[in-house]
Amino acid sequence: MKLLVQQACRDVFGHWALAGAVLWLLLAARLGAEAELGTGQLGDYLALVSWLGVFLLYRSADLVYRRRQQGWPMEDRLRDRRGWRLPLAEWLGPSLWWLALLLVALIPPWAPGFQPEPEAMSSHRFAAVHSRFSTEEVPAEGFPQVQLPQVQEWELDAGQPLPPGGLALLPFHWPTPPDQEGATLGLFQDQDGRQEAVAPGRLLSWPMGEKASASGRLQLQWRPHGVGEGTTAPQLQSPYARFRVPRLGRDSLPWLLLGQWLFFLPAFAFAQLLSRHLQVRAGFAFLLALALTSLAAWRPGPEVWLPDSPVAWVAQILLKLKAALPRIDGLLATGPDFHLVWARFDPLQLLAWLASGLLALVLSVRPWRQAP
Amino acid sequence: MDNAPLLHLRGIEARRRRRSLFAPLDLRLLPGERCLLEGPNGLGKTTLAQIVCGLRRPARGSLRRPEHLGYVPQEPRFPEHLKVQDYLSQLAALCAQPSRECLRQAQQAIALFQLQDATRHRIRTLSRGWKQRLNLARAWLGDPPLVVLDEPQTALDREGMNRLTEILDQGRQACLVLAPPGTGCETLVQTRLSLRPATA
C-alpha cells in the first residue's frame, strides 16, 4: 500500500508542478498582503490558495484517466480481489499533496511584510425583518387589569450566523425627545436578556449576545422607562442599520486552511469516481466534480427570477440539487467576507459532506466498478 | 497426482454484436499442463482470454479458475514514464505485499526474463521486444499457478521464444496459449486444440 500511495503522489504532482504551486503561494501571499495589487485581505490569500485545490481536483481526475490508458484497472483486477487498494491510493495521492500544500500555505502570512486587514471589524447591512407595536396587559393583585404603555419590538436579520463579538449599530429617531438632556426614554432588551437604558440622540451600539450571534437575528424590545413613560416609541431608521463583526486574523489561519482541506477531500473522491465510472476524459470528469462541489458551496442570494423564464427554470433545478447536498459553504471561507463565511460552518453538515466522499470512495471499489 | 482441474471451462460462449464468436467450448487444464488453443484472426481468442482471466463475462457457460493468475495480453499497455523495476514493484503491491516482498518479486521476475539491463530504464525507452518481455514478466509476478498467454510470440525474437520455452519447461505453471496457427507457439505446449467457429 505504501508503494502504491507513493507512486500515486508522484503521478499527481511532478517536480515542475510542485515548483509552480510554491510560486503560486508566494504570489498569493503578495496579492493578499498588498492593497495596491489585490484588496489587501487575508480572504484574498485564502481564495488564491483554494485555486491549488481546484488544480489538484483536475489532477486527481486526470490521474484516474491516465492510469486507465496505462492499463492499471486490468492489472488491478487480476491481482486485487476486492479492488480497494488502487482507488484508495489514488485518492490519498491528491489528499496528501493538498495537506502538504496547505501546511506550506501557513508560512507566508507570517512573513514580516504580510499585513492585511488594517481594520479589525467589518461593517454589513442589518436588514429589519419586522417591527411592531403592542400593549401589555398584566393582571395585578387587587386590581382587575393594569395596562402598561405600548411596547415596541424589532427583529433584525443578518441572514446567517455571526461570529461572536459582533456589534449592532442602530440609528433611532425619537419623535418626542424629553426636555432634559441625557434623560432616558426607555429600556432596550434583547433575546439574550441584556437590558440597557438609552438616551436619545446617540447611535445605539448594541453588543450581540450569544443567541443573537448564533442565529444571526437580533430581537430588540423597547419599553418606556423613567421620564419617557407616556411618550411615543422611537423609530428605527432601518436602511442605516448595520452590524459590525470582528475579522479573523492570522491566528485562525490553521482552522481556515483545515476547512479547505476537508472541503476538497470528498471532491477528489467525486472526480475520481466520475472519471472511473463514466470512462470520460479527465477534463469532463473534473468539470462535473467542480460543478457538484461548487453547488454544495453555493449560497443562493435573495434574487427573484422572472417566473416561467428559462433562467428561473434552471435556477429552480439548481436550487433543488443544492437542497439535496450538504450545506458546506462555511468550509470554503474565502474572499472579502471570509470571516462571515466561516461563521456558517456547521459540524453536522461537515460530517454529511465527508460521508458523501466516503460513499464515493466505496462506490469506486470493485463490485460497483465497470470491467476494464 | 491431483486430478482436479486448475481451469475448467464448461460450454463457454462469447458474443460480439449479438453474434456468437466461437462454438461452445469445454476445456480442462490440470496443474502444470500446457495447452494451445488455435484459431484464425477474429474468432474471439482475445475475448476468450479475457473471459478466462475474469476481465469479461461469458455470454453462456461457466468456468472455474484459480484466484490468482497471470495474463499476457496481445496488446499490452504500460505506464511509459515508470522504470521497469518500479512498475513491477507497484504491480506486486496490488496484492497487498509488504514493500520488501514487492521488491523481491519484481527482481525475481526481472531475472526470470533477463530484463536486468533494462531495470533502471523507463518503459518508454524500451524496444517492442523488450516491452513484450516486460509483458511476460508481469504475468509471472508472484508465481501464479496458471498463466494465459495471448499471442505471446508477438515481437519476441528467437532468443526470447527459447527463454519462454525454458521457463515453461522448468516451471510448475499451467499454461493456456491462444494464437493463430503457424506462429511457432506449438513449441511452448504439450497439447493443441482448435477453436471452432460458431455455427450460424
Structure confidence at residue A182 (pLDDT)? 55
Structure confidence at residue B181 (pLDDT)? 83
Q: A17 contacts in B (CB within 8 Å)?
A: none
Q: B94 contacts in A (CB within 8 Å)?
A: 4, 75-76, 79-80, 85-86
Cell of residue A98, nine digits: 493538498
Query: B14: pLDDT confidence band, cut at 50, 70 and 90?
Result: confident
pLDDT at A228 over 70: no
pLDDT tens, residue by residue, A74-98? 888 888 777 788 899 999 999 999 9
CA closest to A73 among chain B residues: B55
Measured between CB atoms, which of B67, B68, B77 is closest to A70? B77
pLDDT tens, residue by residue, B30-64? 888 888 888 888 888 899 999 998 888 888 888 88
Query: A157: pLDDT confidence band, cut at 50, 70 and 90?
Result: confident
Q: How far is A50 from chain B (nearest CA, A)?
A: 29
What does the pLDDT average to over B121-129?
90
Distance CA A270, CA A359 (A): 9
Contact A4 B71 (CB under 8 A): no
Query: A38: pLDDT confidence band, cut at 50, 70 and 90?
Result: low
Interface probe, candidates A1, A62, A64, A78, chain B, greatest B C-beta count within 10 A: A78
Longest dimension (CA), chain A: 93
Q: Say what the alpha-carbon torsion angle A106, A270, A288, A46 is, to the nearest 10 degrees.
A: -10
pLDDT at A40 over 70: no
pLDDT tens, residue by residue, A170-193? 887 777 665 555 556 677 888 888
**Which of A289 and B185 is assigned the larger pLDDT?**
A289
Structure confidence at residue B101 (pLDDT)? 85
Q: Where are the domains of chain A?
A: 2-119+250-368, 121-246
What domains can you pick out in chain B, each with its CATH number? 1-69+144-200 (3.40.50.300), 78-143 (no CATH)
Structure confidence at residue A216 (pLDDT)? 83
Distance CA A138, CA A223 (A): 14
Measured between CB atoms, which of B73, B86, B91 is closest to A79? B91
Chain B residues 45-84 within an 8 A CB cutoff of chain A: 53-57, 67-71, 73, 76-80, 82
pLDDT at B66 over 80: yes
pLDDT at A206 over 80: yes
CB B69 within 8 A of CB B95: no
Q: B80 contacts in A (CB within 8 Å)?
A: 70
Instruction: Count the alpha carbons within 13 Å of A156 in the hemisphere toward its beta carbon.
Output: 27
pLDDT tens, residue by residue, A305-356? 666 777 778 888 888 888 888 888 888 888 878 888 888 888 898 999 999 9
Contact B80 A67 (CB under 8 A): no
At a CB cut-off of 8 Å and minimum separation 6, what does B130 contact?
A: B115, B118
Q: A9 contacts in B (CB within 8 Å)?
A: none
Structure confidence at residue B148 (pLDDT)? 92
CA closest to B89 among chain A residues: A3
Contact B86 A7 (CB under 8 A): yes
Fold of A121-246: Jelly Rolls (2.60.120)
Q: A76 contacts in B (CB within 8 Å)?
A: 94
Contact A75 B91 (CB under 8 A): yes
| Residue A339: CB atoms within 10 Å | 23
Query: A57: pLDDT confidence band, cut at 50, 70 and 90?
Result: very high
pLDDT at A146 over 50: no
Q: A86 contacts in B (CB within 8 Å)?
A: 94
Q: Cα A13–A18–A22 angle (5° rounding)?
A: 145
Structure confidence at residue A322 (pLDDT)? 86
What does the pLDDT average to over B87-93?
90
pLDDT tens, residue by residue, A230-269? 566 677 777 888 888 888 888 888 999 999 999 999 999 9
Contact B79 A371 (CB under 8 A): no
Return the closest-CA partner of residue A209 out of A241, A175, A173, A168. Answer: A168
Query: A271: pLDDT confidence band, cut at 50, 70 and 90?
Result: very high
Lowest mean pLDDT among A108-117, A137-146, A359-368, B108-117: A137-146
CB A311 within 8 A of CB A305: yes
Q: B90 contacts in A (CB within 8 Å)?
A: 3-4, 7
CA distances (Å), origin A310, targets A291, A307, B31: 19, 9, 67
